[in-house]
Amino acid sequence: MNNLRYVHWLEDGGKSCSEAGKSGIGLAIPKDQEPVPAGTGFWVNSRAYLEFLSYNNLFLDLKGLLTGLSVENAGDLWARSAAIRQLIMRSAVPEHMSREITAAYQKLTAATTDGANPVVTVQGTVTVTATGEGVKNLIEQYDPYVDISDPRQVVQYVQRCWGHLWAPRAIYYREKLSCPHLDVLPEVLVAKDPVQETAIA
């Protein structure tokens, strides 16, 4: 079923794109997190994020915004973090990418009894290629966005999850560990709301 470029279905094994062998990067999910049932959602892989950056020519912008950064200067760190996140949110998600994510979301509609848009949760996590002491500080799982039931909002919240990668804390630890920023990449889970699933059942 997964002949898509940016989407990996949970029903293809319930794993992230990286766990499924597409990148060899480990997904950082806390051990106490409840697993998401297969067939109830999909991952947006890190390839989407990298192609989004490339499409908008953001690599040089990111480099410029990080040049001369002093992470021990909280004001400087927060200002640059905000500038990067604004840059990401103001940049366009490529149309073909947006269509693929939207189409994947709309396929979840088939499981609703009334054909209504499913209510989903969108949650970002990261994959880390770096190794060594302190890498655990690079591992993040962000608070989910909940009660989303509009295809366009799904894409917007995926984009917000990409922006989370540039939160002050995340930048701080990567800089302190001398970890290249592109060694930490986002994956985003779009999963049906379990409350809605229970109601349907």
Backbone angles phi, psi at 86, to 5 degrees: -65, -40
The pTM assigned to this predicted structure is 0.82
Contact 28, 52 (CB under 8 A): no
Cα 117 from Cα 133, distance rounded (Å): 44
Q: Closest Cα partner for 44 from 94, 117, 118? A: 94
What does the alpha-carbon distance between residue 182 and residue 127 come to, in Å, rounded to a whole number?
10
Q: Tell the residue number behind the tokens 């917007």, with chain if given.
A: 156
With beta carbons less than 8 A apart as the criterion, state whether 187 and 139 touch.
no
Find how far residue 82's CA is from the centre of its chain.
18
Given a contact cutoff of 8 angstroms between Cβ atoms, the answer to whether 29 and 40 are in contact is no
Mean of pLDDT values over 155-165: 96
Would the pLDDT of 84 be above 80?
A: yes
Residue 1: pLDDT above 70?
A: no
Residue 84 tokens read as: 């990067």
When pLDDT is averaged across residues 128-150 and rounded to a whole number, the result is: 77
Q: Which domains can be identified in the chain, with CATH numbers?
A: 7-200 (3.30.1490.20)
Output the six-digit token pair for 117: 């848009």
Distance, CA of 17 to CA of 145 (rounded, Å): 21
Q: Per-residue pLDDT for 92 more than 80?
A: yes
Distance CA 57, CA 51 (A): 10
- Find how far residue 176's CA is from the centre of its chain: 23
How far apart, in whole angstroms, are the C-alpha atoms of residue 39 and residue 108?
9
For 163-193, the pLDDT digits (tens) are 999 999 999 989 988 889 999 999 999 998 7
